[in-house]
Structure formats: structure tokens, C-alpha cells
Amino acid sequence: MADKVDHVVEALDRNSKAKLWEKLELGLVPDEEIKVIMRSVVEKRHQWINKLSCQQQQAQILELVQYESVTLDDAEIAMLDLYCERAQISDGHKVLDLGCGYGAVALHIARKHPHCHVTAITDIASQKQFIEEQCREQNLANVEIILADITTYEMDKEFDRVMVISVIEHLKNYELFLRKTSKWMKADGLLFVEHWCHRSLAYEFKASSN
């Protein structure tokens, strides 16, 4: 069966790939089929890593993930714009970015919407330092970075939008997290969550070091 699906995936034109992604988003592709497709994709990535140049690998990844983008940078900006669109962010909103990483989302919102104020929280000092350097370089005065553990941090502020992107995987106590998050939201605020998920299993992040 794996061989068959390999050929099917290989032979898909852009239109069919777009339809496949649409079906995936709607949860209409059976798990067994997803497993085979993923195996085929991962195998191919291993082949590219061994054989192709960095540019060729990037082109192949783009082919898979963002068929309208020309470069990985374009694809990333398209994805960040999509987050903003789906979170319905408007210029002037107070935005909280929980678990902000190296600030891709916070910096993008601050650049795109100069009247937004973005508060970003991370528990890693080098991430805070990096984002602050970026703010200085890019003359962004509308970003504040807080170094704290979300699970114990308290603040008396409310936000129009709360962004939680690839962070839920790091947490175990969802109830506590959602209770805290709801206190930081205005009555008409919206929570945007991007979460790796599976119908029956949790995608759990395990740190192998600090």
C-alpha cells in the first residue's frame, strides 16, 4: 500500500495537492492514509537532505507547504498574515502573545499594526533579549517582553487578542492555563490557538535539556 500511495502523492498536481490539504484541514482523510502519506513525505525529506542543495531542499518544502509562495520568507510572512487574519487582529488592539519564542508573531503584528500594543511572554531569557534587540533595530516601540513562567505569572491587564501558537504542547494543566488566560481577556476578546493535535493522542513536547 505504501508504494501505491508514494506514487499517488508523487503524481499529484498542484490542484490535487490543494484539495488534499483542504480535506486534511477538514479531518476527512482517514488516519491510516495520513500515516502512509506522512511516511512518504518524511522519507522524501531524508532523501533531499542527503542529495539536494539547501536551495533545492527549500524549494521542495515550499512545494509541499505553501504553493503560492516563492521563498521560505514569503511563506512565513503568508503564514503570519494568516494568523492575524484568523485572529481578527485590528490596528489598535492590545495583543498578548503567550510563549512568544523568538518573537516572529509579536514582531510581525507590531510591524503590520503600528497602533497595536503587543505584550509577549517567554520563560527563556535569550528569547527576550533577541526580541528586544530586534525592536531596537526595527524601531518598534509597541512591544513589551516579559520573562516569566505563564503558569505562575500574575498580571492585572486585559487584552483584545491572545495568541497561543505551538505552546499548548508544552503545558500539562490545560484547565489552569485556560483559567489564567481567560482572566487576561476583555469580555469581547478572542483567543487564537494553534496546536499540533491528533484525534485521540496528545502531541506532547518533552524538553531534553534546559
Ligand X SMILES: C[S@@+](CC[C@H](N)C(=O)[O-])C[C@H]1O[C@@H](n2cnc3c(N)ncnc32)[C@H](O)[C@@H]1O
Q: Which residues bind ligand X (CB under 6 A)?
A: 99-101, 104-105, 121-124, 127, 149-151, 165-167, 170
Residue from 92, 84, 83, 85 nearest 159 by CA = 92
Q: How far is the CB of 65 from ligand X (least distance, A)?
A: 15
Q: Which is nearer to ligand X, 33 or 169 (CB)?
A: 169
Q: Which is nearer to ligand X, 40 or 134 (CB)?
A: 134
Q: How far apart are CA 139 and CA 136, in angstroms?
A: 5
Q: How far apart are CA 186 and CA 159, in angstroms?
A: 6
Q: How far is the CB of 91 from ligand X (least distance, A)?
A: 21
Q: How far is the CB of 48 from ligand X (least distance, A)?
A: 24
Q: Which is nearer to ligand X, 89 or 150 (CB)?
A: 150
Largest interatomic CA distance in the chain: 57
Q: How far is the CB of 203 from ligand X (least distance, A)?
A: 11
Q: How far apart are CA 180 and CA 100, in angstroms?
A: 17
Q: How far apart are CA 196 and CA 157, in angstroms?
A: 28
HSE of 67, CA atoms in CB hemisphere, 13 A: 11
Q: Which is nearer to ligand X, 16 or 138 (CB)?
A: 138
